[in-house]
């Protein structure tokens, strides 16, 4: 049975809210794994976080995102270097936390759509990822590329596009990170897309089509479960539901109304649904 997890920003109102106080809420809700957003990896005490994870009896997965000043597709070598330093710090942090993956927008900035021809940026992205893959392999962490919808990114919007990028990078330490919220917008059939990803799927976010808790929308979770079994996916199932409109997290993700009555009770329902309906199989 898959380990199930929740992204800690589910409870955050500010991206800088401390993570450790949230650990016990995730554990009490029934999760095995917490996903930590590594937005400022040079400022994180990973040794302390690992000790607190162990104290809570939790496993870690890690995600990050690039910005305009850490864009590894940029024609500016200084910006690319900053992006590579960010990825290295995130990969090193993930290794210290025992996370098998570093997912998220690891290949381009979120919500940035450059002017002009994107082909050169894609070529630069491939070259940068080839370098990052060597770091990931040495640390025994899989670098995962999150496929996002057209409103949040331009390089990777479908599994097909993600597989083409992975082929060009040509390194086994790089895999896909899929998210059912994004897939619901871009893929014709979610189970078929998961089957297409096959053994290149390294990480999965489980989210309703409306970003509510898995099971609250119209996604075919039985089909998702069957597709994961068909490809023998062994990774974590992490809920990345964003339901709270409060603070910069809610505003940044366009959550303009409350999408759950009570956060902790909703988290318990997410854990139950993932364990029984997605991870459990038969």
The answer to whether 60 and 99 are in contact (CB under 8 A) is yes
User: Could you identify the residue written with the tokens 């808790």?
Assistant: 213
| Best CA proximity match to 106, nearest among 78, 120, 126, 123 | 126
110: exposed, middle or buried (Cβ count in 10 Å: 0-12, 13-18, 19+): middle
The two beta strands, 142-146 and 33-37, are: unpaired
> Tokens at residue 223, please?
């089909």
Question: Does an H or E element contain 246, and which?
Answer: none
Spatial distance between the Cα atoms of 175 and 125, rounded to a whole number of angstroms: 15
Distance of CA 219 to the CA centre of its chain: 19
Residues 6 or more apart whose Cβ sits within 8 Å of residue 203? 61, 101, 103, 142, 144, 146, 175, 176, 177, 178, 235, 236, 238
240 is a catalytic site residue: yes
> Tokens at residue 241, please?
């539901």
Question: Which one of the listed residues 35, 146, 186, 187 is annotated catalytic?
Answer: 146
Question: Which one of the listed residues 35, 186, 187, 240 is annotated catalytic?
Answer: 240
Residues 6 or more apart whose Cβ sits within 8 Å of residue 119? none
Please list the active-site residues. Answer: 146, 240
């Amino acid at each position: 049975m898959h380990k199930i997890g929740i992204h800690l920003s589910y409870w955050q109102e500010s991206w800088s809210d401390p993570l450790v106080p949230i650990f016990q809420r995730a554990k009490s809700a029934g999760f095995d794994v917490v996903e930590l957003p590594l937005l400022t990896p040079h400022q994180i005490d990973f040794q302390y976080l690992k000790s607190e994870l162990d104290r809570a009896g939790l496993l870690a997965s890690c995600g990050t995102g690039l910005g305009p000043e850490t864009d590894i597709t940029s024609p500016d070598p200084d910006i690319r270097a900053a992006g590579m330093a960010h990825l290295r710090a995130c990969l090193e942090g993930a290794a210290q936390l025992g996370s098998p993956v570093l997912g998220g927008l690891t290949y381009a900035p979120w919500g940035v759509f450059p002017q002009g021809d994107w082909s050169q940026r894609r070529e630069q992205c491939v070259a940068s990822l080839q370098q990052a893959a060597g770091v990931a392999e040495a640390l025994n962490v899989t670098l995962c590329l999150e496929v996002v919808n057209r409103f949040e990114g331009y390089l990777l919007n479908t599994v097909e596009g993600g597989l083409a990028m992975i082929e060009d990078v040509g390194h086994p330490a790089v895999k896909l990170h899929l998210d059912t919220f994004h897939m619901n917008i871009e893929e014709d059939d979610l189970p078929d897309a998961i089957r297409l990803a096959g053994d290149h799927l390294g990480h999965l976010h489980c989210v309703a089509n409306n970003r509510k808790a898995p099971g609250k929308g119209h996604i075919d979770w039985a089909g998702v479960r069957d597709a994961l079994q068909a490809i023998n996916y062994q990774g974590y199932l992490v809920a990345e539901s964003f339901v709270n409109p409060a603070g910069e997290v809610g505003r940044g993700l366009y959550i303009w109304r409350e999408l759950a009555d009570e956060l902790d009770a909703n988290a318990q329902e997410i854990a139950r649904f993932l364990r029984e309906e997605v991870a459990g199989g038969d």
